[in-house]
Amino acid sequence: MSKQSSPPIERDHGWRIWWQLTRPHTLTAGFVPVFLGTALALHYTHLNISLFIAMLIASLLIQAATNMFNEYYDYKRGLDNEKSVGIGGAIVRNGVHPKTVLRLAFTFFGIAILLGVYICMNTTWWIAVIGTVCMLIAYFYTGGPYPIAYTPFGEFLSGFFMGVIIVLISFYIQVREITADSVLISIPIMILIGAIMLSNNIRDLDGDKENGRRTVAILIGRKKAINLLAAMFTVSYVWIIALILFGGATPWLLLILISIPKPITAVKGFIGKTEPIQMLPAMKATAQTNTFFGLLLSIGLVIAHFF
């Protein structure tokens, strides 16, 4: 994480410490894919609400745990300090013991596993295999000797497992099969979750370079990384339009166009900025793009089902 100096950051207190530890702006990567996969399943079957709730909670717990592993290992590697920008801050600013953060992350994993067992008992135990791989990716994103976050593969792997795989699991546990449209509709969510990671790496580019990371943003440079971010946003919207024009998808999916101001704000927010704290609004807009895009996509599917 970036170690560049920034204005004093107000310490959190009470429950806010624990809430910020989950890094709430990233939790969109946990609930949007579940909503989308479940909304699409409406077109095939009656929903099992208990499976939906179990999947939603498990996905959010895994995302929150991933963020806690991130905070713990960045602290252990000396990448974070009290003036670091954009982190949960429980360890370096609020005095939470590092081992407490780590234990909480593993506790969240444990609860997610129990929910996964319930899902498997009502569907197939193959979900356990896929879920285990997802959790390993979540841990090794910043954990282990060779963290994924230090490589150029962070955007792709996070997008694929939190986007495509979670959408497909959410769809499968309701329908008991994977269809072409479930795969196709997951692609833009994969791209947008990858965009969240890319925005983080654009913000932290200078600090990450100093600490030996080899992210995409570092390899191609800040300007090209911002252009790549803009291209990812564009492809996501064009993808859905193409599904409507050539794939027979419902025109209700055009509701996503309401969210277009968010990616525009995100890209403009990065242009010409070099200080991490200046780029926080752009990062927020990137996460909001995934949230609004995914929810509007889900709403479009639900409306199409009933009308």
Q: Residue 71: inside a domain, yes or no?
A: yes
> What pLDDT is recorded for position 4?
43
Give tens-digit pLDDT for 77-123. 766 555 555 555 667 666 678 888 889 999 999 999 999 999 999 99
> What pLDDT is recorded for position 184?
97
Taking the C-alpha atoms of residue 296 and residue 220, their distance in angstroms, rounded to an integer, is 32
> 244: which 2 tokens?
């409507």
Mean pLDDT of 289-303: 96
265 pLDDT more than 60: yes
Taking the C-alpha atoms of residue 172 and residue 41, their distance in angstroms, rounded to an integer, is 8
Number of domains forming the structure of the chain: 1
> What pLDDT is recorded for position 227?
97
> What pLDDT is recorded for position 86?
52
249 pLDDT more than 60: yes
pLDDT, mean over the chain: 89
> What pLDDT is recorded for position 94?
62
Q: Residue 6: inside a domain, yes or no?
A: no
Q: Output helix, strand, coil percentages for the chain, rounded to the nearest 5.
A: 75, 0, 25
Give tens-digit pLDDT for 212-234. 889 999 999 999 999 999 999 99
Q: Residue 111: inside a domain, yes or no?
A: yes
Higher pLDDT, 4 or 35: 35
Domain that holds residue 99: 15-300
Q: Residue 1: inside a domain, yes or no?
A: no
Quick one: which of 238, 237, 242, 243 has its CA closest to 256? Answer: 237
Q: Residue 2: inside a domain, yes or no?
A: no
The model's confidence at residue 25, banded by pLDDT at 50, 70 and 90, is confident
**Any residues with CB less than 8 A from the CB of 15 and at least 6 apart, and which?**
none
Pick the range with the lowest mean pLDDT from 29-38, 54-63, 95-104.
Answer: 95-104
> 107: which 2 tokens?
């506790």
7 pLDDT more than 50: no
Higher pLDDT, 14 or 22: 22
168 pLDDT more than 70: yes
Quick one: which of 102, 99, 115, 33 has its CA closest to 67? Answer: 102
- Which CATH number fits the domain that encloses residue 273? 1.10.600
DSSP class of 10: P
Q: Give yes or no for a contact between 119 and 134, defined as CB atoms under 8 angstroms apart.
A: no
> What pLDDT is recorded for position 90?
63
Q: Give yes or no for a contact between 224 and 54, defined as CB atoms under 8 angstroms apart.
A: no
Single-letter amino acid code for the residue at 38: T
> What pLDDT is recorded for position 87?
54
Give tens-digit pLDDT for 125-156. 999 999 999 999 999 998 888 899 889 999 99
Quick one: which of 142, 117, 146, 121 has its CA closest to 131? Answer: 117
Q: Residue 306: inside a domain, yes or no?
A: no
Mean pLDDT of 10-25: 69
Q: Residue 55: inside a domain, yes or no?
A: yes
> What pLDDT is recorded for position 79?
63
Please name the residue ranges forming H helices in the chain: 15-21, 28-41, 49-76, 98-121, 126-140, 154-159, 166-175, 180-203, 205-210, 216-220, 222-246, 261-270, 280-306
> What pLDDT is recorded for position 59?
95
6 pLDDT more than 70: no
Q: Residue 288: inside a domain, yes or no?
A: yes
Higher pLDDT, 254 or 207: 254
> 87: which 2 tokens?
């982190």
Where is 200: in which H helix or E strand?
helix 180-203
Q: Give yes or no for a contact between 29 and 158, defined as CB atoms under 8 angstroms apart.
A: yes
| Residues across the chain | 307
